[in-house]
Amino acid sequence: METEFAAQTGANAPGTIRLRGHHFLCLLTYKGLGYTPAFVKNLSRIAQAINDGTPVMLAQGPDDICNGLSLEDRLRCGHDCEKESVYRRDAQAIAATAPLLDLNMNAPFILTANAVKTLRAAFASGQTRAGCVGCPWVQTCDNIAADGFAGTILLPADTE
């Protein structure tokens, strides 16, 4: 799995999944919904790799999840990963999330079950939702959080 990610993403840390800021939120509510079938397939693969212990690190701009959308896909669903508003969403998400994780997100780290539990509690309380403002999926993610994140895919094994 590690070699696969390094080869497909060109990550500067081999075997590491690169995630932009607001995707640390989106992964918490991900239950198989997304812009296109290819996007969903890629995101499911990433969530599973995190569950299996593949390290993640913070990316600036389009990341390994964005890479699930081809240019053709982006035109079809009207989603632009380079929009300034998406970069703002990243900054707001990380400003709220980084203190909770209390580690260097610019280097590879394992997203543990405890870390996900902490992030989900903060998400459900609204503490980290500034990064969601203006996102078309807000209502869906509100409902998923209100439902206790039932059916979500990110469930890393506890490595702590």
Closer by beta carbon to ligand SF4, 38 or else 135: 135
**C-alpha to C-alpha distance for 66 and 87, rounded to whole angstroms:** 13
DSSP string, 111-155: --HHHHHHHHHHHHHTTTGGGGTT-TTHHHHHHHHHTTTTT-S--
Smallest separation, CB 29 to ligand SF4 (Å): 5
Q: Is the dihedral of CA 73, 75, 76, 82 positive or negative?
A: positive
CB-wise, 4 or 80, nearer to ligand SF4? 80
Spell 31-66 as b/e; 16+ CB within 10 A means b: beebbbeebeebbbbbbebbbeebbbbbbeeebbbb
* Residue 7 vs 138, nearer CB to ligand SF4: 138
Give the residues lining the site for ligand SF4 (CB under 6 A): 22, 25-26, 29, 131-132, 135, 137-138, 141
**What are the tokens at 82?**
């380079």
Q: By C-beta, is 75 or 138 nearer to ligand SF4? A: 138
Instruction: Give the up-direction half-sphere exposure of residue 95: CA atoms within 13 A in the CB hemisphere.
Output: 10
Comparing CB distances to ligand SF4, the nearer of 11 and 141 is 141
